[in-house]
Structure formats: structure tokens, C-alpha cells
Amino acid sequence: MKLVIIDYGAGNIKSIQFAFKRLGVDAVLSNNIDEIKAADKVIFPGVGEASSAMKMLRESRLDTVIPTLKQPVLGICLGMQLMCKHSEEGNTDGLGIFNVDVKKFSKAVKVPQMGWNVIYDLKSDLFTGIKDKEFMYLVHSFYAENCAEAIATTDYEIEYASALQKDNFYGVQFHPEKSGVEGSRILENFLNL
């Protein structure tokens, strides 16, 4: 199993790497296009601001590579948001893999949403063994709207897509690497896809 975490300068990838290490898998950090293409599974992380992250992706040409990948790809947090059509954060276009836009939470709730909330309406093999309304750790100010590609939903001010899937592309808004044993189970499920 060759697992690559795309390293394009955005975010805390150490904890993702450690989470897989706890599952007995050594993930390789890479921004090398050939290495990413050759991997069995790819993790697309991201923490930070959307438009600057997209800029970094464009600079390394990863913006054209990621949408063409054929193996299972898992976007986490901002990674998931960048796989969408467009984000209100920095008013940037995303990779357009998921046919949905990313919006900002209104001031009716505290922003960022920070902490543990439940995911429900689970619709993917990614969630094998995960019970409906399981708690996951989330930290975000922007959200993907609920849509046909949603495979999990969460409620914070509104119902939004907390996980998305299209073909071999998966995205989760929450941090499975920080969501205890249940989060770890989701990463294991991804490895087993």
C-alpha cells in the first residue's frame, strides 16, 4: 500500500501522517506529480485560507493533476472545500470536482464552528461501522452546501454537507485524524476502499 499525502505547504499534515502511522501505514509526504499519480491512495489535506491554498496548488501545477487522479483521493477540511466549484473564502474557484459551492456561516452562529458535532445520513463505504450521529471534530468557518454528492450531513445554523463523494473522490469537512477511535475507523475504511 503506497499512501501519499499531498504536501503543497498548506496545513498540519503531521497529525494526518501520525494517524496513519497508528494504523500501521507509513504515509509519504510529496508534491511530486509522478509520485502522487503512482500512489495507491492519496490524501489531500489543507488548513488555512482557500485562495492562497489554490495559489499554491496552481504554482505546483497540482490543480490540473488532482482532478485527473484515478485512485481513491480523500480531501480533508480545506482539502475537501478546494475540491468544490467555488469558495466564498477569498472568492476563489476550486478544483471543480464536486458540483457544489462553499459559503461562509452567517453571524447567527459563532464562527469558526469549533469542536465536536455529529454527522448523519451517512451514505458511503467510507462510513462502514460508523453509527449515524457519530461525533467528529470540526474547525471551519466555511461550509459546502448540502447537495446530491453529500455522503454525510451536519447541522450548524443550517444543514450542510460534512462529507462528499464523486466517483473515486472523497472529501470530509471534519478531521478524522483528530476524531478519536471513530475518526481513525474512517481513515481505515479509506485504506480499505
Partner 1 sequence: MLTKRIIPCLDIKNGRTVKGVNFVNLIDAGDPVVLAKQYAELGADELVFLDISATLEGRKTMREMVLKVAEQVNIPFTVGGGISSIEDVDVLLKCGADKVSINSSAIKRPQLVNELAEKFGSQCVVVAIDAKQIEGEWFVHLAGGTISTELNLFEWAKEVEARGAGEILFTSMNNDGTKAGFANEALAKLSTELNIPIIASGGAGTVQHFIDTFTIGKSDAALAASVFHFGEIPILELKKELKENNIQVRL
Residues forming contacts to partner 1 in the complex (CB under 8 A) are 12, 14-15, 18-19, 21-22, 47-49, 107, 110-118, 135, 137, 139-141, 155-156, 175, 177-181, 183-184
E strand or H helix that includes residue 18: helix 14-22
In the complex, least distance from residue 31 CB atom to partner 1, rounded to whole angstroms: 16
For partner 1, the closer CB: 53 or 84:
53
Amino acid sitting at position 11:
G
Q: Is 140 one of the annotated active-site residues of the chain?
A: no
In the complex, least distance from residue 111 CB atom to partner 1, rounded to whole angstroms: 6
For partner 1, the closer CB: 40 or 155:
155
For partner 1, the closer CB: 69 or 157:
157
104: number of Cβ within 10 Å: 13
Q: What are the grid coordinates assigned to 57, written together?
A: 496548488
Q: Is 175 one of the annotated active-site residues of the chain?
A: yes
> Which one of 89, 134, 149, 177 is the catalytic residue?
177
CA distance 13 to 151: 24
Q: Is 147 one of the annotated active-site residues of the chain?
A: no
Integer Rg of the chain from CA: 15
Q: What are the grid coordinates assigned to 168, written together?
A: 473515486
Q: What are the grid coordinates assigned to 158, written together?
A: 443550517
In the complex, least distance from residue 38 CB atom to partner 1, rounded to whole angstroms: 26
Location of C-alpha cell 467510507: 126
Active site residues: 77, 175, 177
